[in-house]
């Protein structure tokens, strides 16, 4: 039923910001930086659901494809939802599902889909930081640097996105559009009819 899904999305999409190839290249570059920094060290990726579902999976495999990387790599996921209006988080984050493995003494890399005001990532760094990981860093695929409310460290940054609401490659509008393989803007009518 893929064809029907695409037709439903078609009229809603205003334009493509980054295609699947550009996204894949950005992830390969991030993987290269991560491999350099975690050479022969154990590493745990903690993906933030639901948005970072695809970037976490693709990043983990891109890291595996590069020689001399981490000595071992484990993947965990946690699930949060941010309160706020439909298109901006308020930083009031609710932990819907925690990671399953202990991270004490582990090298942890948080993998997020996008950072905007920074409050979600700040919450996550505080949450995981309390658990005494050996190291804690963050990786975001998409960066909207225009409306930061907090200066939260992001050691690995993929692609800069304009100050607009975007969907696709894991990012949703009202739970839809996550499975678009590219990053897109929506038609303004989508927000008003929502
Ligand atoms: P922040 O707390 O403002 O940094 O936003 C982080 C979270 O808000 C992300 O994990 C996304 O779930 C969501 N978000 C921010 N910008 C967008 C967007 O343009 N499209 C979809 N979700 C977004
Ligand atoms: Mg989201």
Per-residue pLDDT reduced to its tens digit, 138-183: 999 999 999 999 999 999 999 999 999 999 999 999 999 999 999 9
Burial class of residue 175, CB neighbours in 10 A (0-12, 13-18, 19+): exposed
Cα(50) to ligand 2 centroid in Å equals 7
Cβ atoms of residues 47 and 55 within 8 Å? yes
Q: How confident is the model at residue 7 (pLDDT cuts 50, 70, 90)?
A: confident
Percent of the chain clearing pLDDT 70 (strictly above): 92
Shortest-distance ligand to the CA of residue 163: 1
Per-residue pLDDT reduced to its tens digit, 59-96: 999 999 999 999 999 999 999 988 666 666 676 889 99
Catalytic-role residue among 76, 116, 143, 172: 116
The pLDDT of residue 28 is 98
* Ligand 1, CB within 6 Å, residue ranges: 51, 82, 89, 91, 112-121, 165-167, 171
**Chain Cα centroid distance, residue 87:** 16
Cβ atoms of residues 103 and 135 within 8 Å? no
Atom of ligand 1 nearest to the CA of 120: 2
Q: Hunting for tokens 């993947």 — which residue is that?
A: 75
pLDDT of 1 strictly over 50:
no
Average pLDDT over the chain, rounded to an integer? 93
Q: Which of 119, 123, 159 is nearest to 140 (CA)?
A: 159
Backbone angles phi, psi at 9, to 5 degrees: -75, -30
Shortest-distance ligand to the CA of residue 89: 1
């Amino acid at each position: 039923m893929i064809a029907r899904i695409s037709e439903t999305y078609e009229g809603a999409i205003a334009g493509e910001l980054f295609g699947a190839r550009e996204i894949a290249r950005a992830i390969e570059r991030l993987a290269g930086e991560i491999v350099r920094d975690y050479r022969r060290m154990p590493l745990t990726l903690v993906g933030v659901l639901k948005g970072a579902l695809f970037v976490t999976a693709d990043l983990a495999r891109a890291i595996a494809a590069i020689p001399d990387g981490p000595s071992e790599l484990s993947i965990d996921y946690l699930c949060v939802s941010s309160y706020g209006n439909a298109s901006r988080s308020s930083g009031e984050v609710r932990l819907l599902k925690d990671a399953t493995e202990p991270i004490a003494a582990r090298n942890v890399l948080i993998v997020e889909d996008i950072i905007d005001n920074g409050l979600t990532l700040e919450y996550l760094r505080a949450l995981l930081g309390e658990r005494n990981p050996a190291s804690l860093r963050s990786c975001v695929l998409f960066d909207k640097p225009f409306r930061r409310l907090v200066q939260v460290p992001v050691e690995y940054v993929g692609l800069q996105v304009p100050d607009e609401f975007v969907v696709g490659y894991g990012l949703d509008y009202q739970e839809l559009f996550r499975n678009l393989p590219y990053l897109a803007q929506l038609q303004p009518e989508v927000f008003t009819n929502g």
